[in-house]
Amino acid sequence: MNRPRVHRSPFRAYRADQRPDLVSFQIVIEETDLWVAAHADLSAPMADRVRLLRGQIRTYAAIHPEFLPSLTPLQAAPGAPEIVRRMCRAGELTGVGPMAAVAGTVAQMVAEEFCRESPDLLIENGGDTYLFSTRDRHIGILTMPEEDMRVCVHVPAEEFPCSFCASSATIGHSLSFGKADLVVTRSRDAALADAAATALANALKGAEAMDRVLDMARNWEGIGLDGVFAQCEGRIGVWGKMELSVL
């Protein structure tokens, strides 16, 4: 069977990997770029879901022009769409603007809509993921091409669904005020994981800040943050449910 082609990008080389038990496909709508692995090609209805979510954000932003550019927390207005409420709540909890949570929130809300049709459902949105799985998985968080290895987090089947979100000052196009090579966060709430990754990466202004950043992550355990992996200037810090392995 011919499978849909997957987008090739220097920032998304990990998408070359195929899951033999699942069908991989891509959905690109404006800035949203999803890579999906599911039991069947759900690209058409998923694209409709993405358009709906993006439309809700655009409509809200037209009425509240501060929403898109804000780098500080905002409170959702009464009657705001659910996607906006999730993004605002995550930003308020972690001290960042609501758009810091947009990619993770979209990934989770798309996954939640289709998980009944595909109990194994892996959605990645520009480095931010939401994952349903009926079996154990190894989730790649750091590729080392020169050594042909990947650092992964082992996730047992009973710990799904969960989210892993990434932020970096050196990889990709995300805005960051720190110097992090990579920050990856884990949570069952993708909006929180996405916003926390941004906040922690902003705070990682050098290797000497690693301990303070790990303390920030620990302090967010009570709001639902489950783990963090951070790398900066040759130093690595790990906290929480991040059982690392190398494949």
Residue 173 reports pLDDT greater than 90: no
User: Would you state the pLDDT for residue 150?
Assistant: 83
Q: 73: helix, coil or strand? A: coil
Residue 225 included in any domain: yes
Looking from the CA of 31 toward its CB, the CA atoms found within 13 Å total 11
Q: Is residue 165 part of a domain?
A: yes
Question: At a CB cut-off of 8 Å and minimum separation 6, what does 244 contact?
Answer: 151, 152, 153, 154, 229, 238
Q: Domain for residue 78, yes or no? A: yes
Range of the domain at 114: 13-246
The predicted pLDDT at position 7 comes to 44
User: How does residue 247 score in pLDDT terms, banded at 50, 70 and 90?
Assistant: confident
The verdict on residue 1 lying in a domain is: no
Is the residue at 2 inside a domain? Answer: no
Q: In this predicted structure, what is the pLDDT of residue 142?
A: 77
Tell the burial category of 208 from Cβ atoms under 10 Å away from its Cβ (0-12, 13-18, 19+): exposed
Write down the mean pLDDT value for the chain.
90
CATH number assigned to the domain comprising residue 172: 3.10.520.10
**pLDDT level of residue 168 (50, 70, 90 thresholds):** confident
Question: What pLDDT does residue 21 have?
Answer: 83
pLDDT tens per residue, range 132-165? 999 999 999 876 655 567 889 999 999 999 999 9
pLDDT digit string (tens) for 27-76? 999 999 999 999 999 999 999 999 999 999 999 999 999 999 999 999 99
Could you give the number of structural domains in the chain? 1
Residue range 12-19: mean pLDDT, rounded: 50
Q: Could you tell me if residue 19 is inside a domain?
A: yes
pLDDT higher than 60, residue 9: no
In a domain, 7, yes or no: no
Residue 8 lies in a domain: no
> Is the backbone peptide bond immediately before 156 cis, with ω within 30 degrees of 0?
no
